[in-house]
């Protein structure tokens, strides 16, 4: 068995922990871990370009295909638990029937797992027996293996390039800070002068001169420090505004499919990391440069005083650096785990608020609490470990440099007694030594913090490097369009391994025609509507508007002449008037009343205390389902569309209102494409299309 299972692999790198960003991306995260272990420098975005993950998940066959495309030689096998020790690591394990993890190492009493959903796990064999399905995917370098490096990694310099004029501002801050540091370097020299030329000589005139010099330096430092603090605050605010605005603008340009694959809480958590990134740029980035420069200057000055004493301090700093370096990987893993678990807890909390009604009606408050609490505790556990590591660093810092201080004092006194040092020189050297310790410690801390900020940058990069939706204006003029829509040979599926939802679909909707698309649930009606609206990109086929290809007409122009009411639509925080006009600056109030009457909601609005100025609450929480649908319909009609898409737009209405709205819609001379199950709505259509039959053709 051992000979059968063993690959003759040679380890080359450490196995990283990669967390999944999308709902069903565990397999892709495992591929990234395996790839980076063997020398590739890839991230999840790179793997998505090779194989886009499906929201339904990924299977072992797809994982094998992705690894082989990266020139790995793979083998999928089924084994018993006792044979796990013969697997050469790392290998991908099928876990809990719906998940993939990476096996890092098999120990005597436990195994080490890199779980893309949780982090590094130390599982007992009983835990492994509970979750491991017996399927393993091994991978080794193929004959044509060549290292691949991702070119879409986000850095602080990348951020700085995004902000116009930031380089000049940072140079200005560096000059201010450098002036403060230079003034600080003069203080020890003044102390030395006081010790050697005032105290030892009893010369009060020199003392008065030195006191005046001290006061001037303190005043200069205070003025410059105030200017620096004011500039840093301005830069911090400016960076936050610019980064936030640019990221929100970019998010709004992403295709609809992106939001289907992501947890809303995770997107929000990534957005909030902007504060940490801008702080690194506005303060710590500058401090790191200055601290590094001051370390060099201090070392030169201290060597001039005494090479021997300087080497003692350098040994202490080197030992502190080694300790930080050896424990960095643990700190990085726990920091990344903390970030991911806090994001998960935020997602669960947000989801709980959105689903509070069924949670209460099913009396499942305790279930939701336990789900949130377990994730939150995992995040806190990671925070505790991080706190312990930071406490350890502080203790080591104090211990090392206090011992160093004692040794320096003893050695310095010996030099003074040997008349190789004056008292003033010893005091000045101790001051420079303290300055060196502070600057070097800060530089080391900032350097490792900069490495840790790559965790946040990678998460932000997952948003920033997403390709925006192509909404070019094109050559079309929407004001001349009449509204004839045609789709030819449309094919669509969400993932290459999924079956086609739409297969070779062709359909023509004439100007002013009202068609009803029917079919059983799950046959692709809503998907077809989203493809026709340009929200989803088909795998094959073309869409034509008045015989003009949509690609040439331009998606932006197309959306100027379409409107819709979809099942997922909601009202936004604001007044009824703002929602109907979709927050337009210029409002045609008479037309607002007209479309509200067409949607049979005008009379109901007038009965409200604030009428059209009534606030709708979050996502329209103060209205019934039928009232929300009618306001949404009024919003769609207010746009004066040439083509109207309706997906179960009257499903919450009573029979009387539904009949009145259907009659109003039928009287409109616009192209209408509706999805409906109610016979009353279907009967109002000029033509009925059964998608289940169309898909079979």
- Which residue of the set 26, 89, 123, 523 is catalytic? 26
Alpha-carbon distance of 269 to 275, in angstroms, equals 11
Q: What pLDDT does residue 218 have? A: 80
Alpha-carbon distance of 358 to 367, in angstroms, equals 12
Q: Choose the weakest-confidence range: 273-277, 472-476, 498-502, 638-642.
A: 472-476
pLDDT greater at residue 563 or residue 25: 563
Q: Is the pLDDT of residue 340 over 90?
A: no
CATH architecture of 478-694: 3-Layer(aba) Sandwich (3.40)
CA quadruple 585, 588, 589, 593: dihedral positive or negative?
negative
Q: What are phi and psi of 397, to 5 degrees?
A: -60, -50
Q: Choose the weakest-confidence range: 186-190, 321-325, 509-513.
A: 186-190
CA distances for 269 relative to 345, 347, 360, angstroms: 10, 9, 27
Sheet order of strands, 91-95 included: 72-78, 132-141, 91-95, 99-106, 110-115, 119-124
Contact (CB, 8 A) for 476 and 554: yes
Could you write out the DSSP letters of every residue in 648-684?
STTTTS-HHHHHHHHHHHHHS-SEEEEE---HHHHHT
Any idea where the domains of the chain sit in the sequence?
2-141, 156-464, 478-694
Alpha-carbon distance of 183 to 315, in angstroms, equals 27
pLDDT-derived band of residue 593, with 50, 70 and 90 as boundaries? very high
Identify which of 654, 662, 604 has the alpha carbon closest to the alpha carbon of residue 633: 662
Range 410-417, long-range pairs (CB < 8 A, 24+ positions):
411/308, 411/309, 411/312, 412/306, 412/309, 415/306, 415/309
Q: Choose the weakest-confidence range: 112-116, 334-338, 629-633.
A: 334-338
Identify which of 456, 370, 457 has the alpha carbon closest to the alpha carbon of residue 157: 457
Q: What pLDDT does residue 671 have? A: 92
Cα–chain-centroid distance for residue 446? 23
Q: Number of C-alpha atoms within 13 angstroms, CB side, residue 512?
A: 3
Superfamily of domain 156-464: ABC transporter type 1, transmembrane domain (1.20.1560.10)
Q: CATH code for 2-141?
A: 3.90.70.10
Alpha-carbon distance of 540 to 40, in angstroms, equals 33
Could you write out the DSSP letters of every residue in 436-479?
HHHHHHHHHHHHHHHHHHHHHHHHHHHHHTSPPP-----S--GG
Instruction: State pLDDT tens for residues 152-163.
Output: 667 767 766 666
Q: Is the pLDDT of residue 480 over 90?
A: no
Cβ partners under 8 Å of residue 42, min gap 6: 32, 35, 36, 148, 149, 150
Here the tokens at position 568 are 């997922």
Could you write out the DSSP letters of every residue in 170-191?
HHHHHHHHHHHHHHHHHHHHHH
pLDDT greater at residue 676 or residue 496: 676
Here the tokens at position 418 are 């040997």
Q: Choose the weakest-confidence range: 276-290, 410-424, 548-562, 574-588.
A: 276-290
Q: What pLDDT does residue 631 have? A: 93
Mean confidence (pLDDT) of the chain:
84
Alpha-carbon distance of 35 to 141, in angstroms, equals 9
Identify which of 22, 21, 46 has the alpha carbon closest to the alpha carbon of residue 32: 46
Q: What angle do CA 67, 70, 76 make, to 5 degrees?
A: 20
Q: Is the pLDDT of residue 625 over 70?
A: yes
Residue 571 DSSP symbol: -
Structure pTM? 0.73
Quick one: average pLDDT of 515-534? 89
Contact (CB, 8 A) for 92 and 101: yes
Contact (CB, 8 A) for 695 and 524: yes
Quick one: average pLDDT of 213-221? 81
pLDDT-derived band of residue 9, with 50, 70 and 90 as boundaries? very low
Q: Is the pLDDT of residue 364 over 70?
A: yes
pLDDT greater at residue 621 or residue 329: 329
Alpha-carbon distance of 531 to 691, in angstroms, equals 14
Active site residue 30: no
Q: Is the pLDDT of residue 569 over 90?
A: no
Q: What pLDDT does residue 592 have? A: 93
Cα–chain-centroid distance for residue 537? 24
Q: What pLDDT does residue 5 have? A: 41
Residue 582 DSSP symbol: T
- Do the bridges between strand 643-647 and strand 562-565 make them parallel or antiparallel, or are there none, so unpaired? parallel
Q: Choose the weakest-confidence range: 94-98, 472-476, 545-549, 643-647.
A: 472-476
Instruction: State pLDDT tens for residues 19-68.
Output: 887 777 888 889 989 988 888 878 887 777 777 777 677 788 888 888 88
């Amino acid at each position: 068995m051992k000979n059968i299972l063993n690959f003759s692999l040679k380890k080359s790198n450490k196995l990283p922990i990669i967390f999944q960003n999308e709902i069903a991306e565990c397999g892709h995260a495992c591929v990234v871990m395996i790839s980076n272990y063997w020398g590739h420098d890839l991230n999840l975005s790179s793997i998505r370009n090779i194989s886009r993950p499906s929201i339904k998940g990924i299977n072992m066959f797809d994982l094998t295909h992705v690894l082989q495309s990266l020139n790995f030689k793979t083998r999928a096998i089924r084994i018993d638990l006792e044979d796990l020790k013969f697997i050469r690591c790392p290998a991908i394990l099928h876990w809990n029937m719906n998940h993939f993890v990476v096996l890092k190492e098999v120990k005597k009493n436990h195994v080490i797992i890199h779980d893309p959903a949780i982090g590094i796990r130390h599982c007992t064999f009983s835990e492994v027996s509970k979750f491991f399905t017996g399927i393993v995917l091994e991978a080794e370098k193929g004959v044509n293996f060549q290292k691949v490096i991702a070119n879409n990694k986000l850095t602080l310099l990348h951020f700085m390039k995004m902000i116009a004029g930031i380089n000049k501002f940072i140079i200005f801050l560096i000059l201010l800070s450098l002036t403060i540091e230079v003034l600080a370097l003069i203080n020890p020299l003044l102390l030395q002068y006081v010790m050697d030329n005032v105290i030892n000589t009893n010369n009060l005139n020199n003392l008065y001169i030195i006191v005046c010099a001290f006061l001037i330096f303190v005043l200069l430092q205070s003025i410059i420090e105030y200017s620096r603090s004011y500039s840093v605050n301005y830069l911090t605010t400016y960076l936050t505004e610019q980064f936030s605005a640019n990221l929100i603008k970019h998010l709004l340009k992403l295709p609809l499919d992106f939001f289907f694959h992501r947890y809303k809480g995770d997107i929000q958590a990534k957005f909030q990391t902007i504060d940490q990134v801008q702080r690194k740029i506005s303060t710590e980035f500058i401090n790191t440069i200055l601290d590094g420069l001051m370390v060099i200057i201090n070392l030169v000055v201290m060597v001039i005083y005494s090479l021997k004493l300087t080497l003692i301090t350098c040994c202490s700093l080197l030992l502190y650096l080694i300790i930080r370096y050896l424990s960095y990987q643990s700190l990085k893993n726990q920091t990344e785990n903390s970030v991911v678990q806090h994001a998960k807890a935020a997602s669960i909390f947000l989801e709980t608020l959105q689903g509070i009604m069924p949670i209460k009606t099913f009396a499942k408050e305790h279930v939701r609490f336990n789900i949130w609490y377990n994730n939150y505790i995992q995040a806190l556990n990671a925070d505790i470990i991080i706190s312990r590591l930071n406490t350890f660093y502080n203790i080591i810092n104090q211990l090392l440099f206090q011992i160093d201080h004692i040794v320096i004092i003893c050695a310095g006194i010996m030099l003074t007694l040997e008349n190789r040092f004056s008292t003033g020189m010893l005091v000045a050297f101790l001051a420079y030594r303290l300055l060196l310790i502070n600057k070097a410690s800060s530089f080391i801390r900032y350097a490792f913090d900069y490495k840790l900020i790559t965790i946040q940058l990678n998460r932000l990069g997952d948003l920033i490097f997403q390709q925006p939706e192509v909404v070019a204006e094109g050559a079309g003029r929407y004001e001349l369009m009449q509204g004839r829509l045609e789709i030819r040979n449309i094919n669509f599926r969400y993932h290459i391994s999924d079956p086609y939802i739409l297969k070779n679909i062709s359909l023509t909707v004439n100007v002013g025609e009202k068609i009803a698309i029917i079919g059983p649930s799950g046959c692709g009606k809503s998907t077809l509507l989203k493809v026709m609206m340009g929200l989803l990109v088909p795998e094959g086929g073309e869409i034509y508007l008045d015989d003009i290809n949509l690609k040439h007409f331009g998606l932006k122009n197309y959306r100027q002449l379409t409107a819709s009411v979809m099942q997922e639509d909601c009202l936004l925080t604001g007044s009824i008037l703002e929602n109907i006009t979709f927050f337009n600056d210029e409002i045609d109030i008479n037309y607002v009343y007209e479309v509200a009457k067409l949607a049979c909601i005008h009379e109901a609005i007038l009965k409200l205390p604030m009428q059209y100025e009534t606030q709708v609450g979050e996502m329209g929480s103060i209205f019934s389902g039928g009232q929300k649908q009618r306001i949404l319909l009024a919003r769609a009609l207010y746009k004066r569309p040439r083509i109207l898409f309706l997906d179960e737009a009257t499903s919450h209405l009573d029979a009387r209102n539904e009949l009145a709205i259907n009659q109003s819609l039928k009287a409109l001379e616009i192209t209408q494409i509706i999805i409906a199950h109610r016979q009353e709505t279907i009967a109002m259509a000029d033509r009925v299309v059964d998608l289940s039959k169309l898909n079979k053709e």
